[in-house]
């Protein structure tokens, strides 16, 4: 039997009309094979479905005993069965794929996310959970009349990751800046100004003080300085996937719109885009050639700096690989 792409059993929030606006999957399954795959195929249909706790008790007992608390629910549960990695067809399917990323079961840019924006409603994420925007005002009024108050943390299609998944071995100074669907590897530290979008990754260990945009992957032992940014496919990068290799440093307020290999450094305040004019110099400082930065994309051991006198952007061989402070990435 070919492996089944994904399965999740969880709890959904419904609006007053009974429409799903979010789904929490505590233990999603990915690339399921063998007897477990057979049980899923026998018990569930493809796509999203509502199931009673009683109807899935035997499945939970045999396959996922860690989900036994779900059996205490006083309402239907949500099951999503994706035999293949196909286009997203419902809100719960979108949430399952976001969970796969944040549970480290799938890397960014390796899943079909077509349809995700159309199936994620814009939601008020509050201290009372997800609230349909059309119902927010009336619920706020009802709460105030009862002398109660609840906080609206954000209005967005994506919730913060930590309300659904907290990966092991990470530090997150401000959880509101990490969206569900972000991939945070072991040893990753995200400082207060750091931000990681959905379908983006810090593979770990990393120090993230800047912004990792959608689709961008940060390699191991790489630092992103304060205010630094990476150009994602949703922010002008077109179809080019920006990745940054191992042991790189993007200085404070710097950034890149081209992929970088390993052991690369961009000095603070310098943003490299594909069309940036770069002077390649040798060990003696002599000009070798002048190129557009896209011609250097993906290469390793590059040091991008500005000339101290004329401000011209130069590229030299990077002789000093960046070593991260091990104490900062020990989260035990």
Catalytic sites, residue numbers: 209
The pair of structure tokens assigned to 238 is 């077109």
| 213 closest CA partner among 169, 176, 257, 175 | 257
d(CA 50, CA 104): 26
For residue 2, give every residue at least 6 positions away whose Cβ sits within 8 Å of its Cβ, in sequence order, or none: none
**CA 215/CA 240 separation, integer angstroms:** 9
Distance CA 280, CA 277 (A): 10
Contacts of 113 (CB under 8 A, 6+ apart): 88, 97, 199
Beta strands in 162-308 (DSSP E): 171-172, 182-184, 189-190, 195-196, 200-202, 206-208, 211-212, 217-218, 222-224, 229-230, 243-244, 249-250, 255-256, 265-266, 271-272, 277-281, 287-292, 302-306
Whats the size of the chain, residue-wise? 332
Separation CA 268–CA 210 (nearest Å): 12
* Cβ contact 242:201 at 8 Å: no
């Amino acid at each position: 039997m070919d492996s089944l792409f994904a399965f999740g059993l969880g709890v959904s929030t419904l609006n007053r009309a009974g429409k799903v606006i979010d789904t929490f999957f505590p233990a999603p399954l990915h690339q399921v094979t063998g007897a477990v795959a057979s049980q899923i195929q026998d018990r569930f249909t493809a796509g999203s479905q509502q199931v009673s706790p009683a109807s899935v008790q035997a499945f939970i007992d045999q396959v996922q005993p860690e989900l036994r608390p779900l059996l205490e629910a006083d309402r239907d549960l949500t099951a999503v069965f994706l035999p293949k990695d196909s286009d997203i067809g419902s809100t719960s399917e979108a949430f399952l794929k976001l969970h796969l990323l944040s549970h480290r079961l799938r890397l960014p840019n390796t899943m079909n996310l077509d349809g995700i924006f159309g199936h994620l409603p814009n939601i008020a994420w509050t201290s009372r959970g997800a609230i349909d925007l059309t119902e927010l005002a009336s619920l706020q009024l009802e709460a105030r009349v009862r002398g109660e108050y609840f906080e609206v943390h954000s209005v967005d299609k994506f919730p913060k990751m930590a309300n659904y998944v907290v990966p092991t071995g990470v530090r997150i100074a401000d959880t509101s800046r990490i969206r569900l669907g972000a991939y945070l590897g072991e040893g990753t530290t995200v400082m207060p100004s750091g931000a990681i979008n959905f379908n983006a990754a810090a593979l770990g260990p990393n120090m993230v003080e800047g912004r990792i945009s959608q689709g961008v992957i940060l390699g191991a032992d790489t630092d992103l300085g304060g205010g630094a940014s990476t150009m994602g496919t949703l922010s002008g990068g077109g179809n080019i996937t920006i990745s940054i290799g191992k042991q790189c440093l993007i200085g404070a307020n710097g950034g890149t719109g081209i992929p970088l290999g390993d052991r690369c450094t961009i000095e603070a305040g310098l943003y490299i885009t594909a069309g940036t004019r770069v002077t390649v110099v040798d060990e003696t400082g002599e000009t070798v050639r002048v190129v557009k930065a896209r011609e250097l994309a993906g290469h390793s051991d590059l040091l991008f700096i500005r000339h101290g006198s004329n401000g011209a952007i130069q590229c030299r061989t990077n002789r000093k690989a960046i070593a991260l402070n091990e104490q900062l990435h020990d989260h035990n």
